[in-house]
C-alpha cells in the first residue's frame, strides 16, 4: 500500500499551488488526482456498473461501507478498466486503488472511522471519474431527486456538502468550502427543480461559484492535447498545449496556460490586461472566414448546453436501478475525445484501439456507401443502355418487372370481372319485363324474314312486269300491222308477224329471272297509254301502275278485237264472241271480283302469317301475277285466232 502522502508529494511537485486563479488551481489539482488514480480512463457508466456489481444500487444511501468494502468497489472499477485496456498499456491496479483509497479516506474520513456512506461513495466517484459532465450530473440528480423527478433540496444540500470535500481535500477549502449560503445560492427561488433545471443551472456559464471548478476540470481535460503553433511570448515555448491566452491590448502577445495561470508578464504587457482564452488555433485565413460567417449570420448559432429531457419522467430517473438492464458500456467516442486530450496521441494505445474500432466501423460504412453508389450508377447505366456488365442487374430488374406485370395483370383481371359483374347488374336492372323482352327477338326475326320475302316478291314483280312489257310491245306491233295492212290485204303480213318467235320471258314465271334492261329504255316504240302505264315516277305505287297498265291493255285488246270484227269473217264469231266477251267482262268488272274467282297458284306465301299490310300487299301482288298469266294466255289465244 502506497504511502498516504505519496499523492500529495507528487502533486506538490507539479507546482500547482503557484497558479494564481483558485478555480484553475482547484481544477488542475483534481485533474491531477484523477489522472494519478487512472480514473480519467473510467467513464461514469463504468462506475455505475461497478456499483451495481457490488450491490450499491440496492443499498440505502446512508448505509456505510467499511474500508474493505470500499476497496472491493474500487478494485472492481480498476480491474474492469484493465480488462478494457490493451495488454501493453495495463495500469497498475494496486497502486491506483491505494492512491484513490487514501485520497477518498483523506477527503471523507479525516478522523479515521474507517467507514464511508454509500451516498458519499457514489457522489465522490461520480464527480472525479471520467466521462461527460452531462452524464455525471444526470446520475447525481438521480441520487438527490424524488420518484417524481423533482430534486429534494435537503439532498442537494447534502450533495454540495460531500462534493465540496473534494476541493477541500486538495487544500482549496478556503475558496470552495461548503457554506449554507452556497447551497441556497444555486437554487434560491425555485420551488421545484427538475432535471432540466438542474442541468441548466450547473452547466450554465458561469456556473454556481461553489462548483465552478467542476466544468473547468472537464474543459481542462478536453483541451489538454490541443496544440497551438505559436510561441509563448513569456516562456517562448514552441509547443503550446491546452489553453492559449491572447492579450486584448498588446499586439500579438500570447501566453501559454502555465504562464498565464501564474500571472507571468513581460515587456509592456501587464497581468492586469484583459486576456482572451482560446481552446483551439485557427489560421488567419480561417479566422477571417469565421469572423465573416459570424457577422453575416443574424441568428445566434449558440448550441444548447445540454439536450432537453422530459420534465416529468414517467418513472424516476434512478440510473442505479436502470443500469441493471444495461449492457456494460465501454468507453465511448466522447470519452475517447477527452482521453485523446489527456494523453499524448502518438503513445496512447487506448485511443489507437478505439480508432481502429471506429475505423473498422467506418470501413463498413464506406463499403456500404460504395455498394449503394455502384448500384445507383448501374441503375443509371441500365436506363441509358443495356450494358453486358449490367446483365446480372438487368436480369434482376427483369424479374422484378415481370413480377410487377403479373401482379398488374391479375389486378386487371379482377377489375374486368368487377366491371362485368356491374354491367350484368345494370342490365338486369334496366331490362324490360320478361314477356316483352322475350318477344322482341322473335318479332325482329319475323320482321327480318318479312322484309326478305318482300324483296323477293318485288324482284319477281319486276320480272313479271318485264314480261308484260314485252307482251305489250308485241301487241303494239300487232296493232300497227293491222292498221297498215288496211282492208285490202288483211292476211298477208299477219302470217309474217305470227311466225316471229315469241320472247322467252313471256313463258318464264320464275322469280329469279331479272330483266336485263330497264323498263324505261325498252319502252321505246311503245306509245300512248302503254308507255304512260310503265313510266317510272318517283315512288310510284307499283300495284296501281300495274292495274292501270292492265286496263290499258284491255282497252287496246278491245279496240283490236273490234277492228278485227269489223273486217274479219263470220266463221270465228262464236269463238271470238265468247273469248272477247270474257275479255270485256274482265275489263268492265272490278278487280276484286276477278281476283276471287281464280285459284292462287303460289301457296308458300299463304303459310306465313303476315302483318295486315304486308299480307295484303303480297296478296295483291300475287293476284297481279295471276292476272298477267291470264292475260298471256288470252294473248296467245288471240294470236292463234289471228293466225287462223
Ligand atoms: Zn509560457
Ligand atoms: Zn498585454
Q: How far is the CA of 347 from the centre of ligand 1 (A)?
A: 24
Looking at the CA of 275, name the nearest ligand.
Answer: 2
Beta-carbon contacts of residue 533 (< 8 Å; ≥ 6 apart): 545, 548, 549, 552
Separation of alpha carbons 533 and 475, rounded Å = 15
Percentage of the chain beyond pLDDT 70 is 57
CB 224 within 8 Å of CB 242: yes
Helices (H), ranges, 190-279:
195-203, 213-223, 257-261
Q: How far is the CA of 242 from the centre of ligand 1 (A)?
A: 11
Smallest-distance ligand from the CA of 252:
2
Q: Which three cell numbers stand for residue 596?
A: 276471287
The rounded Å distance from CA 260 to ligand 2 centre is 11
Q: Quick one: DSSP state of residue 431?
A: P
> CA-CA distance, 557 to 551, in Å (whole number)?
10
Grid-cell match 316478291, residue found: 457
How far, in Å, from the CA of 243 to the mean position of ligand 2?
A: 17
**Are the C-beta atoms of 543 and 617 separated by less than 8 Å?**
yes
212 CA distance to ligand 1 centroid (A)? Answer: 25
Q: Give pLDDT, residue 474.
A: 78
User: Could you tell me the three cell numbers for 117?
Assistant: 456512506
Cα 210 to ligand 1 centre (Å):
29
Of 544, 545, 558, 469, give the one whose Cα is nearest residue 505.
469
SS3 291: helix
Q: What H or E segment, with its residue span, contains residue 64?
A: strand 64-66
| Cα–ligand 2 centroid distance for 267 (angstroms) | 9
Structural contact between residues 464 and 625, judged by C-beta atoms closer than 8 angstroms: yes
Q: Which of 51, 56, 55, 49 shows the shortest CA–CA distance to 84?
A: 49
Determine if the peptide bond prior to 50 is cis (ω within 30°).
no
Q: Which ligand is nearest to the CA of 266?
A: 2
Q: Cα of 262 to ligand 2 centre, how many Å?
A: 15
Asked whether 300 and 249 are in contact (CB, 8 A), the reply is: no
**Strand order through the sheet with 275-278:** 254-256, 244-247, 275-278
Which ligand has the nearest atom to the CA of 276?
2
CA of 245 to the centre of ligand 2 (A): 10
Buried b (16+ CB within 10 A) or exposed e, 307-346: eeeeeeeeeebbbbeebeeeeeeebeeebbebbbbbbeee
Residue bearing cell 438521480:
142
* Cβ pair 63, 118 in contact under 8 A: yes
Task: Kindly give the distance from the C-alpha atom of residue 335 to the centroid of ligand 1, in angstroms, as a whole number.
Answer: 28
Question: In this predicted structure, what is the pLDDT of residue 604?
Answer: 45
Ligand nearest the Cα atom of residue 261: 1
Q: Any idea which ligand is nearest the CA of 270?
A: 2
- Distance (Å) from CA 262 to ligand 1 centroid: 10
- Please tell me the number of the ligand nearest to residue 244's CA: 1
Cell of 262: 501564474
Q: pLDDT tens across 66-81, in order?
A: 999 999 999 999 999 9
d(CA 270, ligand 2 centre) in Å = 5
* pLDDT, position 610: 43
**Preceding peptide of 361 cis, ω within 30°:** no
Q: Which ligand is nearest to the CA of 241?
A: 1
Q: Which residues pair with 427 in a beta bridge?
A: none
C-alpha 490 to ligand 2 mean position (Å): 168
- In this structure, the chain runs to a length of 644
Helix (H/G/I), strand (E/B), else coil: 516: coil
Distance 172 CA to ligand 1 centre (A): 25
- How far apart CA 194 and CA 191 sit, in angstroms, is 10
Residues 6+ apart with CB under 8 A from 175: 22, 23, 26, 167
pLDDT tens for each residue of 350-386? 444 444 444 455 555 555 556 666 666 665 555 555 4
The CB density around residue 43, as the number of other CB atoms within 10 Å, is: 26
Q: Which ligand is nearest to the CA of 236?
A: 1
Contact 274, 220 (CB under 8 A): no
Per-residue model confidence as pLDDT tens digits over 41-59: 999 999 999 999 999 999 9
Q: Looking at the CA of 259, which ligand is closest?
A: 1
How far, in Å, is the centroid of ligand 2 from the Cα of 232?
Answer: 13
- Separation of alpha carbons 304 and 205, rounded Å: 12
Tell me the CA–centroid distance for residue 249 and ligand 1, in Å: 18
pLDDT of residue 565: 66
* The overall pTM is greater than 0.75: no
Considering every ligand atom shown, identify the ligand nearest to the alpha carbon of residue 271 and give its number. 2
Q: How far is the CA of 226 from the centre of ligand 2 (A)?
A: 23
Low-confidence ranges of the chain (pLDDT < 50): 314, 316-317, 319-359, 386-388, 390, 436-437, 488-525, 533-534, 537-538, 568-610
For ligand 1, the distance from its centroid to the CA atom of residue 16, given in whole angstroms, is: 15
Q: What is the pLDDT of residue 421?
A: 80
What letter does residue 308 receive in the DSSP assignment? -
Cβ atoms of residues 37 and 134 within 8 Å: no
Distance 224 CA to ligand 1 centre (A): 15
User: 122 and 61 in contact (C-beta within 8 Å)?
Assistant: yes
User: How far, in Å, from the CA of 221 to the mean position of ligand 2?
Assistant: 27
Whole-number pLDDT of residue 496: 45
**In the numeric block, which cell numbers belong to residue 100?**
484513490
pLDDT of residue 140: 96
Complete DSSP assignment for 80-104 = HHHHHS-GGG---HHHHHHHHHHHH
Residues contacting 190, CB < 8 A, separation 6+: 197
Q: Ligand 2: distance of its center to the CA of 252 in Å?
A: 9
Q: Which domains does the chain have, with CATH numbers?
A: 5-224 (1.10.238.10), 227-282 (3.30.60.90)
User: What secondary structure does DSSP assign to 136-192, as a single string?
Assistant: HHHHHHHHHB-TTS-B-HHHHHHHHHHHTHHHHHTT-HHHH---HHHHHHHSSS-S-
First-to-final CA distance of the chain: 175
Q: Which whole-number Å values give the CA distances from 146 to 141, 160, 270, 280, 310, in the listed order? A: 9, 17, 51, 41, 15
DSSP state string for 338-381: HHHHHS-STT-HHHHHHHHHHHHHHHHHHHHHHHHHHHHHHHHH
Of the candidates 144, 133, 157, which has an alpha carbon nearest to the alpha carbon of residue 195? 144
In angstroms, the CA 119 to CA 127 distance is 12
Longest dimension (CA), the chain: 188
Dihedral pair phi/psi, residue 576, rounded to 5°:
-65, -35
Task: Give 327's DSSP letter.
Answer: P
User: How far away, in angstroms, is 170 Cα from ligand 1 center?
Assistant: 25
Query: How far away, in angstroms, is 233 Cα from ligand 2 center?
Result: 10
Looking at residue 186, its pLDDT comes to 86
Q: Nearest ligand, CA of residue 237?
A: 1
Distance (Å) from CA 264 to ligand 1 centroid:
8
* Distance from chain centroid for Cα 302: 39
C-alpha cell at 461: 314483280
Write the pLDDT tens digit of every residue in 190-225.
678 999 999 999 998 888 999 999 999 999 999 999
Partnered with residue 540 across adjacent β-strands are none
How many CA atoms are closer than 13 Å to the CA of 359, on its beta-carbon side? 6
> What ligand is nearest to the CA atom of residue 243?
1
Alpha carbon of 169 to ligand 1 centroid (Å) = 29
Looking up cell 446520475 gives 139
SS3 332: coil
| 302 Cα–ligand 2 center, Å | 29
Specify the residue for cell string 449554507.
180
Position 400 scores a pLDDT of: 72
Q: How far is the CA of 242 from the centre of ligand 2 (A)?
A: 20
Amino acid at each position: 500500500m502506497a504511502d498516504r502522502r505519496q499523492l500529495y508529494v507528487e502533486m506538490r511537485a507539479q507546482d500547482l499551488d503557484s497558479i494564481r486563479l483558485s478555480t484553475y488551481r482547484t481544477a488542475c489539482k483534481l485533474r491531477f488526482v484523477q489522472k494519478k488514480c487512472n480514473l480519467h480512463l473510467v467513464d461514469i457508466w463504468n462506475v455505475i456498473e461497478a456499483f451495481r456489481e457490488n450491490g450499491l444500487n440496492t443499498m440505502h444511501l446512508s448505509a456505510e461501507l467499511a474500508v474493505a468494502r470500499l476497496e472491493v468497489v474500487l478494485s472492481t472499477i480498476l480491474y474492469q478498466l484493465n480488462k478494457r485496456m490493451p495488454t501493453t498499456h495495463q495500469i497498475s491496479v494496486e497502486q491506483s486503488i491505494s492512491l484513490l483509497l487514501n485520497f477518498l479516506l483523506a477527503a471523507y474520513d479525516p478522523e479515521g472511522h474507517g467507514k464511508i456512506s454509500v451516498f458519499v461513495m457514489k457522489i465522490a466517484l461520480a464527480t472525479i471519474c471520467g466521462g461527460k459532465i452531462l452524464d455525471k450530473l444526470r446520475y447525481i440528480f438521480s441520487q438527490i431527486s424524488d420518484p417524481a423527478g423533482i430534486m429534494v433540496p435537503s439532498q442537494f444540500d447534502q450533495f454540495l456538502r460531500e462534493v465540496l470535500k473534494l476541493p477541500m481535500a486538495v487544500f482549496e477549502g478556503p475558496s470552495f468550502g461548503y457554506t449554507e449560503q452556497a447551497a441556497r445560492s444555486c437554487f434560491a427561488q425555485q420551488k421545484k427543480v427538475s432535471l432540466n433545471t438542474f442541468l441548466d443551472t450547473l452547466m450554465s456559464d458561469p456556473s454556481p461559484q461553489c462548483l465552478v471548478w467542476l466544468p473547468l476540470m472537464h474543459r481542462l481535460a478536453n483541451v489538454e492535447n490541443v496544440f497551438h503553433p505559436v510561441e509563448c511570448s513569456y516562456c517562448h515555448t514552441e509547443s503550446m498545449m491546452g489553453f492559449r491566452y491572447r492579450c486584448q491590448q498588446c499586439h500579438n502577445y500570447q501566453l501559454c496556460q502555465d504562464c498565464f495561470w501564474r500571472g507571468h508578464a513581460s515587456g509592456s504587457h501587464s497581468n492586469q490586461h484583459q486576456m482572451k482564452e482560446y481552446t483551439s488555433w485557427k489560421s488567419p485565413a480561417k479566422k477571417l472566414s469565421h469572423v465573416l460567417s459570424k457577422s453575416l449570420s443574424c441568428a445566434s448559432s449558440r448550441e444548447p448546453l445540454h439536450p432537453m429531457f422530459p420534465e416529468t419522467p414517467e418513472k424516476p430517473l434512478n440510473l442505479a436501478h436502470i443500469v441493471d438492464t444495461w449492457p456494460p458500456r465501454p468507453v465511448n467516442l466522447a470519452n475517447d475525445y477527452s482521453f485523446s486530450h489527456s494523453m499524448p496521441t502518438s503513445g496512447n494505445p487506448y485511443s489507437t484501439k478505439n480508432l481502429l474500432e471506429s475505423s473498422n466501423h467506418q470501413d463498413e460504412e464506406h463499403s456500404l456507401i460504395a455498394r449503394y453508389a455502384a448500384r445507383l450508377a448501374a441503375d443509371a447505366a441500365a436506363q441509358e443502355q443495356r450494358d453486358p456488365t449490367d446483365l446480372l442487374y438487368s436480369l434482376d430488374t427483369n424479374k422484378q418487372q415481370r413480377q410487377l406485370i403479373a401482379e398488374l395483370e391479375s389486378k386487371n383481371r379482377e377489375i374486368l370481372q368487377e366491371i362485368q359483374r356491374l354491367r350484368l347488374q345494370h342490365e338486369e336492372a334496366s331490362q324490360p319485363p320478361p314477356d316483352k323482352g322475350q318477344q322482341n327477338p322473335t318479332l325482329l326475326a319475323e320482321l327480318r324474314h318479312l322484309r326478305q320475302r318482300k324483296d323477293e316478291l318485288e324482284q319477281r314483280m319486276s320480272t313479271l312486269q318485264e314480261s308484260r312489257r314485252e307482251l305489250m310491245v308485241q301487241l303494239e306491233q300487232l296493232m300497227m300491222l293491222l292498221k297498215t295492212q288496211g282492208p285490202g290485204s288483211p292476211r298477208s303480213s299477219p302470217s309474217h308477224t305470227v311466225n316471229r318467235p315469241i320472247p322467252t320471258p313471256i313463258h318464264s314465271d320464275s322469280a329469279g329471272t331479272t330483266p336485263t334492261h330497264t323498263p324505261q329504255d325498252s319502252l321505246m316504240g311503245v306509245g300512248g297509254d302503254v308507255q304512260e302505264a310503265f313510266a317510272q315516277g318517283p315512288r310510284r305505287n307499283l300495284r296501281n301502275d300495274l292495274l292501270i297498265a292492265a286496263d290499258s291493255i284491255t282497252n287496246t285488246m278491245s279496240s283490236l278485237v273490234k277492228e278485227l270484227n269489223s273486217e274479219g269473217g263470220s266463221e270465228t264469231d262464236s269463238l271470238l264472241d265468247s273469248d272477247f266477251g270474257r275479255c270485256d267482262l274482265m275489263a268492265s268488272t272490278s278487280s276484286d271480283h276477278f281476283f276471287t274467282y281464280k285459284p292462287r297458284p303460289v301457296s308458300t306465301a299463304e303459310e306465313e302469317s303476315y302483318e295486315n299490310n304486308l299480307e295484303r300487299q303480297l296478296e295483291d301482288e300475287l293476284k297481279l301475277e295471276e292476272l298477267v298469266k291470264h292475260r298471256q294466255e288470252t294473248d296467245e289465244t288471240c294470236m292463234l285466232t289471228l293466225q287462223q
